[in-house]
Structure 1
Amino acid sequence: MTSDTTAWVLEGENASRGTDRPVELNQVTPRRHPGRWIAIVLLGIVVMQVAHNVIVNPNFHWNVFWQYLFAPTVIAGVGWTLVLTVVAMLVGITCAAILVLMRDSDNPILKTLSWVWIWFFRGTPLYTQLLFWGLFAVLFPRLSISVPFGPEILGVPTEWVVSAGVAAVLGLGLNESAYLAEIFRAGFKAIDRGQTEAAQAIGMSRARIWWRILLPQAMRTIIPPTGNETIGMLKGTALVLAVPFTLDLMFATSAIANRIYLPVPMLMVAAFWYLIITSVMMIGQYYLERHFGKGQDYVQTRHI
């Protein structure tokens, strides 16, 4: 019985007895948690001790950290890392959407091709795939259009088309498409099948059903893991040296570290910028989740 219900019962009893004396309710005292405060104090002491040891430790070379934190090559590396992340994610999302449509198709050939794509790119390491794209121009020196098993009609050197930047984007984006395809498929599978059947019953086209019915609802399930994959993609750009792509943040800081023979402060510079970019991405993910979750939050509130 709640406090409001208790007050109503007591007031009813007083009214039946003919008295107007106000009812005194017991004051609820919040439960104390001394253990929490003790844990917070102990944790604060440990954090301050660790922070003090890191700050005063001369081996971290904080002067070098501040010297190169905003160096032009480092800032350029941050920019190229963002470009690689955004473009590779666009490639991955586009390919993943196509793969989902192929998996949902009635054509067994398209279903098989989609399954083989996902099986291959999820089953092989990202670093191996990047190495392959880095060696693509060596394996296939020329891209050409030719008569089957006959002479070449038109061709160009592969290195003109698949440069280091293109190879890095393809390696990251195609690998990511396999993971995103499964995320997208799970998001659409979570939607009640009856909604698709109802939309078909009123004559909506298949494309319109995907765009107006399925996609807005699937975004609630898709966005959180896609945000995690984007953050993983950001950190995965540190592997593009295998291509080799030599403009990203990790290569820029490693080059400076090799020149000054101080790897620790330059690793901290790279870690600082990765944390900043990741934090901004997490904020954006939060607002996207809140936007697409508006209807769901309303339904849950009404249900409660």
Structure 2
Amino acid sequence: MSEPPGAAVSLAEAPTPADTPSKRQQAPRVQPQRRPGRWVVTAVVLVLVAQILHGLATNPFYQWDRFRYWFLRPAVLDGLLVTLEVTALSAVLGLLGGVLLALGRLSGSAVLRAVSWTYTWLLRSVPLIVVLIFLYNFSALYKTLSLGVPFGPAFVTFDESRLATDMTIAVVGLTLNEAAYASEVVRGGILSVDQGQHEAAAALGLPRHHRFRRIVFPQALRSITPNYVNQLIGLIKSTSLVFYVSLLDLFGVVQSMGNTYPGDVVPLLMVATVWYLILTSAVSIAQFYVERYYARGATRTLPPTPLQRLRARLAELRARLRREAAV
């Protein structure tokens, strides 16, 4: 009995067990793309970074022993506490003022729009140091403050010299300046929300304040957060100007100690630099997690945290080592 022609062909083409390993060995392997330019640039950058670190570590001009002495001194920590307090109060009050000014700019009232625009224009045009010095000498212009009917009787009168402490002047000056910049950040974030979201919320019959608080503002925070964190970092550094209104913050303490110990000016400035780096780095870390929180619903997958990235890299490295060991 003869076999079908197809069966003979299939048996002839079927690979034998002896041929299978050789074919697998002859299969071409996928090679990663070579990028010599990237390696050259990486090597140059690493050499420059190593030289900078070597110069910082070996240059006696920085006096690292005096740096260690001053870094945790009680006077420096007291100044750091003042910096944190001024920054926290000014950031919160400045953001609240910025929200009010932004709503005023977007209001249907011509008076509110004009007042908000004028305030933002004026405070963004005047340097912060001028605002602080003006507030510091405010008592020379107005010795008393009163609340009452314009051009009429006053109901309550305040002594300006008792209210205007150094801390109050610093917080008020930074808040006034911060609110002007924060208003533009908030207004830009609100305008970035799709107009369809406003229309859909209005079609549902939601009250205006409820639409803003529950629908518009949470979506606007995705755009507001990174921009306002930049403002917050600038605010941390701007607190160094309160030294000129007699408030000893971190920079003020360093400046005073530098006048008392002229030989330690450089290590004291390095102390202030490192503390400012620590503060701004902490704010940047908080920014990452806040942005990640508000990214929910806008992206399919949330950006990985540094710990998740490290775990993924380790898992990839272990898988690569297993592949190389198997070969």
Q: Normalising TM by the smaller chain, what interval?
A: 0.7 to 0.9
Alignment match, 2:252: 251
Alignment match, 2:4: none
Once residues 186 and 14 of structure 2 are traced to their aligned partners in structure 1, the CA distance between those partners, rounded to angstroms, is 65
SS at match of 1:144: strand
**How far off its partner does 1:152 sit?**
5.4
SS at match of 2:205: coil
Q: Aligned letter for 2:250?
A: L
**How far off its partner does 1:66 sit?**
0.8
Q: 1:134–1:242: 8 Å Cα contact kept in structure 2?
A: no
Equivalent in 149, 162, 165 of residue 163 of structure 1:
165
- Which residues in structure 2 correspond to 1:46-65 (within 5 Å)? 46-65=48-67
**How far off its partner does 1:226 sit?**
0.6
Moved over 6 A (4+): none
SS at match of 1:30: coil
Q: 1:142–1:156: 8 Å Cα contact kept in structure 2?
A: yes
Instruction: Say if 2:177 is the partner of 1:180.
Output: no
Once residues 193 and 74 of structure 2 are traced to their aligned partners in structure 1, the CA distance between those partners, rounded to angstroms, is 48
Once residues 107 and 135 of structure 2 are traced to their aligned partners in structure 1, the CA distance between those partners, rounded to angstroms, is 30
SS at match of 1:156: strand
SS at match of 2:31: coil
User: Structure 2: any 5+ residue segments left out of the alignment?
Assistant: 1-8, 304-327
Stretch deviating more after TM superposition (86-95 or 37-46): 37-46
Relative to the length of structure 2, the TM-score reads 0.81
Q: RMSD across aligned C-alpha pairs, in angstroms?
A: 2.2
- Which residues in structure 2 correspond to 1:224-303 (within 5 Å)? 224-246=226-248, 248-261=249-262, 262-298=264-300
Give the number of equivalent residue pairs. Answer: 284
Once residues 38 and 155 of structure 2 are traced to their aligned partners in structure 1, the CA distance between those partners, rounded to angstroms, is 76
Change (3 A) 1:130 1:203: same
Change (3 A) 1:35 1:173: same
- Which residues in structure 2 correspond to 1:80-229 (within 5 Å)? 80-145=82-147, 148-149=150-151, 154-229=156-231
Instruction: Say if 2:66 is the partner of 1:72.
Output: no
User: Structure 1: any 5+ residue segments left out of the alignment?
Assistant: 1-16
Once residues 227 and 150 of structure 1 are traced to their aligned partners in structure 2, the CA distance between those partners, rounded to angstroms, is 44
Change (3 A) 1:281 1:147: closer
Change (3 A) 1:145 1:187: closer
Equivalent in 31, 34, 41 of residue 33 of structure 2:
31
Q: 1:135–1:243: 8 Å Cα contact kept in structure 2?
A: no
SS at match of 1:27: coil
Q: 1:220–1:289: 8 Å Cα contact kept in structure 2?
A: yes
Change (3 A) 1:297 1:152: closer
Structure label with greater radius of gyration: 2
Q: 2:296–2:302: 8 Å Cα contact kept in structure 1?
A: no
Alignment match, 1:8: none
What fraction of aligned residue pairs are identical, expressed as a percent?
Answer: 36
